Amino acid sequence: MAAKIKTAMLLAAGYGTRLKPLTNHTPKPLVPVAGRPMIEYALDQLRDYGIEEIVINVSHLKDQLTAHLAAHKNLRVTISEEAEPLETGGGLKNAAPFLGNEPVFAINSDILWTNEGETALERLTQHWNDAKMDFLLLAQPKSRAVGHDQGEDHLFIKPENTFEWSELDAPYIISGIGIFHPRVLREAPDGKFSVKVLWLRALAQNRLFCLPHHGRWFQTGTLADIRKTEEVIGQL
């Protein structure tokens, strides 16, 4: 039985530029999807998993987000403040003092997902191997994804580093959900940088792995993505 992950990092500090004008006055994680702030869906999944500590980075309109999180009396939340958004990698590095020295879930706050059978977080936990891995990323079949940033996912998700690879489901995209070990932050650059810098380093050392998701997945980064997500959720 794999040891449960105790800590999660929720990335919630971005400007949400693609969701303007909503994000002029509301931090992106609090923009509603099907009547609930989008961050609540990830918090539900973490609560159901039994997470002990949640670290959340905040920057843009941080007071609103901090106040919202403070109302969650049943969650242990630590706030990692950024004077200005430090991007995904910089956000992790800035939060390093709060992350300890054991594997951590890292989850984007604009991601919603459903599970089929064992949950995505449980499946990631079962596949984690601390001796072999620095990152284990949940991969989503692109054909069943709602909302997706055009990116370099193909560089990271390959047959040779992906459990349960299926040609029928390929190509895959990176889901914004995964496990990483904070040791990768010791030699990480300071300031703003993408987590892909750390992924590339781990990939070169054969320490980055991927696991396909079973279930639905939604990225709610634009108004069109939110509308499509609400449409599909309404049918589930």
Q: Is residue 107 part of a domain?
A: yes
- Average pLDDT in the 109-136 region? 96
Q: Is residue 137 part of a domain?
A: yes
Q: Is residue 24 part of a domain?
A: yes
Q: What is the pLDDT of residue 152?
A: 76
Q: What is the pLDDT of residues 187-218, one digit of tens each?
A: 999 999 999 999 999 999 999 999 999 999 99
Q: What is the pLDDT of residue 150?
A: 67
Q: Which residues pair with 37 in a beta bridge?
A: 32
C-alpha dist (Å) from residue 104 to 52, 182, 197: 11, 7, 18
Q: What is the pLDDT of residues 153-164, one digit of tens each?
A: 888 999 999 999
Q: Is residue 112 part of a domain?
A: yes
Domain that residue 172 falls in: 7-233
Q: State the pLDDT confidence band at 73, using cuts at 50, 70 and 90.
A: confident
Q: Is residue 2 part of a domain?
A: no
Q: Which of 26-40, 101-115, 121-135, 149-163 has the lowest mean pLDDT?
A: 149-163
Q: Is residue 172 part of a domain?
A: yes
Residue 70 pLDDT > 80 = yes
- Give the count of domains, the chain: 1
- Average pLDDT in the 21-34 region? 93
Q: What is the pLDDT of residue 231?
A: 93
CATH number for the domain harbouring residue 217: 3.90.550.10
Q: Is residue 127 part of a domain?
A: yes
Q: Is residue 101 part of a domain?
A: yes
